[in-house]
Amino acid sequence: MEEMLFYDRMQFAFTITFHYLFPQLTMGLSLIVIYFKWKFLRTQNEQYNQATHFWMKIFALNFAMGVVTGIPMEFQFGTNWAKFSELTGGIIGQTLAMEGMFSFFLESSFLGLFLFGEKLLGHKWHFVTGLLIFIGSWASGFLIIATHSWMQYPVGYEILANGKFVLNNFSALFTNPWLWPSYLHNQAASMVTSSFVVAGIGAFYILSKKQVSFGKLFVKTGVIFGLASSLIVAVPTGDLLAKNVVKYQPVTFAAMEGIFHTEKKGSEIVLIGQPDVKDKKLDNKIAVPNILSFLTYGNWHQEIKGLDQFKEENHPTNISGLYYAYHIMVGLGTVFIGLMAFAVFQLIRKKLFETKWILWSLLFMLPFPYIANTTGWYTAELGRQPWLVYDLLRTAEGASPTVSSGNTLFTLLGFIGLYLLLGMLFLLLVGKIINKGPQTENI
């Protein structure tokens, strides 16, 4: 039983982690692509249209990867989490079915037009198809986060005698207090990823002295979008989300921050340190006193409940993993703000393109928003453990009762092999697009 649950969890974790490498770029990038197209419509400067075409190619490749790795996600609710699906399908199936009907049809119908229909449609309608793709992908994110939020903070339901959850208030799903902060946080984080990718590839073109005019355009666009989105990720969205966790999942908050013991006179904020779950302490700790109480409650001496206040059976199952995921996310988020602020400062002084160390940093930092997004999601998911539906349904109770661990391991290995291949093909092709660059001969 333990082993079965482990493989079910590993398979979902692996496939969703891989899957979300792609939508986190395409959601943000769709906005940047239509920004370039809009600039082209306004200025009629051919460079903007070529920039649109270049990022469309990267977008299309990522989108295709997102689609093919996304279908297994919808299947896995039923294949590996049958008990969970049976009990909650009437509710989470609602938002997932809406995603299919509202987003996927919109995106898939207009993607072909967007990619191949520019000549057929003319520039204005080409922009409109891009806009529709943007709306579709952001709606998709919204409905997924609505589903996620219901699992974190269930609303609008009642539980029948047979244990089934049934919906009794549809609109509650969309006024869930968990939903809006999470959604905006996630979308801003997606903007961070795409901004860093645009800026990082731009920096590559400047540093390699190849198609430098495009490099400058990309860096400029990337750092402006990057600074704005990095800030929004932290304040207000990250802050609001953390306050939600304190309010609704205090035990998760304690584990995230590594607070093993309750401090009556206010909690310190831990910057670095390794959790020792067995002895309930942090090793090699560097911390600043009372800051956490202030950030959370605006009061230096407010008491924050530590893990010692909660029953052990309700502690997150992987406290160290949760602690690290959260700290990596927050740490990287801080670095992003710093780097982007420097870059924008230099941009305003018109010295950005000569400041080599910032360009190198932008290039070097390109993968890190992916790590920050991933660890952010790990924080949310590990933080919810040991529950599938918070406080109501345990993860161990949700797995498929008839699928043996051997069969799940078989498919997990299959997914690992297949995704390894997909990942290599993706890198090969994206490398090819970047190497060719945005410039076409007839400029």
Partner 1 sequence: MEFFWYVVLMGILAVYIVLDGYDFGAGIIHLFFAKTEKDKKAITSAIGPFWDANEVWLIAAGGVLFFAFPTLYASSFSGFYLPLMMILWLLIFRAVGLELRGQIHHPMWEVIWDKAFGIASLLLALFFGVALGNIVRGVNLGMVENGVSTQEAHFFFLPLWNPTFSPQADQLGIIDWFTLFLGVVSSVTLTIHGANWIIYKTNSSLNAKLKEVVFKLNFVLLGLVIISLLIWHKIEPKPFHNFVENPVLWIFPLIAFIGIFGLFKVKKFKKDGLGFLFSSMFLVGGFAATTASIFPNVLPSTNAVNPSLTIYNTAAGEYGLSVGVYWFVIALALVIAYFIIQYKVFSGKMDDIGYGEH
Tell me, what amino acid is at 398?
G
Here the tokens at position 172 are 């509650």
Residue with tokens 């969703």: 16
Here the tokens at position 278 are 């067995």
d(CA 420, CA 414): 10
Considering only residues 168 through 207, tell me which ones interact with partner 1, judged by CB under 8 A.
168, 170
Could you tell me the smallest distance in angstroms from the CB atom of residue 36 to partner 1? 19
Q: How far is CA 19 from the centre of its chain?
A: 11
**Is residue 17 part of the contact set for partner 1 (CB under 8 A)?**
no
CB nearer to partner 1: give 348 or 428: 428
**Is residue 41 part of the contact set for partner 1 (CB under 8 A)?**
no
CB nearer to partner 1: give 71 or 443: 71
Could you tell me the smallest distance in angstroms from the CB atom of residue 411 to partner 1? 5
Question: b/e per residue, 126-149, with b = 16+ CB within 10 A?
Answer: bbbbbbbbbbbbbbbbbbbbbbbb
Considering only residues 108 through 127, tell me which ones interact with partner 1, judged by CB under 8 A.
108-113, 116-117, 120-121
Could you tell me the smallest distance in angstroms from the CB atom of residue 19 to partner 1? 12
Here the tokens at position 441 are 């001969």
**Is residue 3 part of the contact set for partner 1 (CB under 8 A)?**
no
The residue from 88, 140, 186, 374 that contacts partner 1 (CB under 8 A) is 88
Q: Using H for helix, E for strand and C for coil, what is the string for 379-432? A: HHHHHHCCEEECCCEEHHHCCCCCCCHHHHHHHHHHHHHHHHHHHHHHHHHHHH
**Is residue 133 part of the contact set for partner 1 (CB under 8 A)?**
no
Residues 135-174 as x/- pattern, contact with partner 1 by CB under 8 A: -------------------------x---x-xxx-x----
CB nearer to partner 1: give 158 or 354: 158
**Is residue 85 part of the contact set for partner 1 (CB under 8 A)?**
yes
Q: What is the secondary structure of 263-309 as a DSSP string?
A: BTT-PPEEEEEEEETTTTEEEEEEEETTHHHHHHHS-TT--B--GGG
Closest alpha carbon to 180 in 210, 219, 152: 152
Could you tell me the smallest distance in angstroms from the CB atom of residue 191 to partner 1? 25
Contact indicator for 248, 262 with CB cutoff of 8 Å: no
**Is residue 79 part of the contact set for partner 1 (CB under 8 A)?**
yes
**Is residue 404 part of the contact set for partner 1 (CB under 8 A)?**
yes
Contact indicator for 358, 352 with CB cutoff of 8 Å: yes
The residue from 3, 44, 45, 75 that contacts partner 1 (CB under 8 A) is 75
% helix, strand, coil for the chain, step of 5: 75, 5, 20
**Is residue 405 part of the contact set for partner 1 (CB under 8 A)?**
no
**Is residue 242 part of the contact set for partner 1 (CB under 8 A)?**
no
Contacts with partner 1 by CB under 8 A lie at: 57, 64, 67-69, 71-72, 74-75, 77-80, 82-83, 85-94, 96-102, 104-106, 108-113, 116-117, 120-121, 160, 164, 166-168, 170, 400-404, 407, 410-411, 414, 418, 422, 425, 429, 432
